[in-house]
Every structure is written in C-alpha cells, then in structure tokens.
C-alpha cells in the first residue's frame, strides 16, 4: 500500500487545499491529511475545528484520513508507514520554502520523499493567510472555501456574505 501525508495548518482549509487532496488521493492508496498542531502562525481556528472542517470536506473521498499531529513531520510520516509528503506549489516563492523543507525532511530520514503538485489555475493566488486578511477587512472572496468554512469565517469576523464583486 502506498501511503502519503499531506501536512499543513489548513487555517482555514481552502478549495485549493481540497484540489491537492483529491489529486493526491488518486495517486496514493491512502492519503493522510495531517493538521499541524505545532505551528508558528497565529491560528484563527482551533486544531479541532480545522480537523472537523477537513473531515467534512473530504468525507466523499474513501482513501483520505484526517488527523492532527505534532512534532517533526519526518517522524510523523515514518510513524504512519508513509513514503511520501504531498505539497502544493503556487509560485516560485513557494518552491524555495518547500524545497528547503523537503531537503530537511530527507536529511532527518532518508525514507521521506516529497511529491510536489502544481496548483490548479483557479487557485494559483489563493492562500489561507490572504483569505483571512481579506475577511478581517470585511471581504469574502467567494468560491475559494468550502461553504461550512466560509460560514465559520463570517461568524469569526461578524459580517454578512458580500455579493461577488468580481
């Protein structure tokens, strides 16, 4: 069985993340979506909320499992019997960071490989950070989040959905 881990903070999960999950699930027998508990970002949603959103959004994909993890990614990957880390790339700036992380993970354990997916065109500019920034200023870019996540984001920032200005 070929197992991969798709790690991230997913704060919040976007349709771009879901695109990578669906594509990764087609290539691997099992895809574990690992929600990082240890991160250096200020999380808007709790770990439990992020895991819940992902479980709901991926419930239709039979070979995807969602769980929280902490500690070193390389250790987590090996503990799950996985052979690969799945990562998405949007731009050159993503590549530089992801390349460093892939090399570090391989240095920590030579069994850990990284597989990069190029983003789909419609999500090339999408990031959780940008979506949170726009929402904090009163905007909601429609079509970039699963509906339950969009509703939760609206509640966090206490504003109604705006008509698509786009």
Q: What is the pLDDT of residues 42-101, one digit of tens each?
A: 899 999 999 999 999 999 999 999 999 999 999 999 999 999 999 999 988 789 999 999
Parallel/antiparallel/unpaired status of strands 64-69 and 113-118: unpaired
Domains of the chain listed by start with CATH number? 3-124 (3.40.50.620)
156 given a catalytic annotation:
no
The span from the CA of 65 to the CA of 30, in Å, is 8
60 given a catalytic annotation:
no
Is residue 116 within 8 A of residue 36, CB to CB? The reply is no
Structure pTM? 0.91
Residue 29: which of 66, 67, 1, 58 has the closest Cα?
Answer: 1
Q: What is the pLDDT of residues 143-157, one digit of tens each?
A: 899 999 999 998 888
Residue 140's pLDDT band (cuts 50, 70, 90):
confident
3-state DSSP assignment of residue 140:
coil
79 given a catalytic annotation:
no
Residue 127: which of 11, 5, 2, 7 has the closest Cα?
Answer: 11
């Amino acid at each position: 069985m070929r197992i991969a881990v798709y790690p991230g903070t997913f704060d919040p999960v976007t349709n771009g993340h879901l695109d990578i999950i669906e594509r990764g699930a087609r290539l691997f027998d099992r895809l574990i979506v690992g929600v990082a508990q240890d991160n250096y970002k200020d999380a808007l949603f709790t770990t439990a909320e992020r895991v819940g959103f992902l479980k709901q959004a991926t419930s239709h994909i039979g070979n995807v499992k969602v769980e929280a993890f902490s500690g070193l990614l390389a250790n987590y990957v090996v503990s799950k019997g996985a052979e690969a880390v799945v990562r998405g790339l949007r731009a050159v700036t993503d590549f530089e960071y992801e390349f460093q992380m892939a090399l570090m993970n391989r240095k920590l354990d030579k069994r850990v490989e990284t597989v990069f997916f190029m983003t789909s065109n419609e999500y090339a500019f999408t990031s959780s950070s940008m979506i949170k920034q726009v929402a904090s200023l009163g905007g909601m870019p429609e079509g970039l989040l699963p509906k339950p996540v969009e509703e939760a984001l609206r509640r966090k920032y206490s504003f109604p959905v705006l008509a698509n200005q786009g």
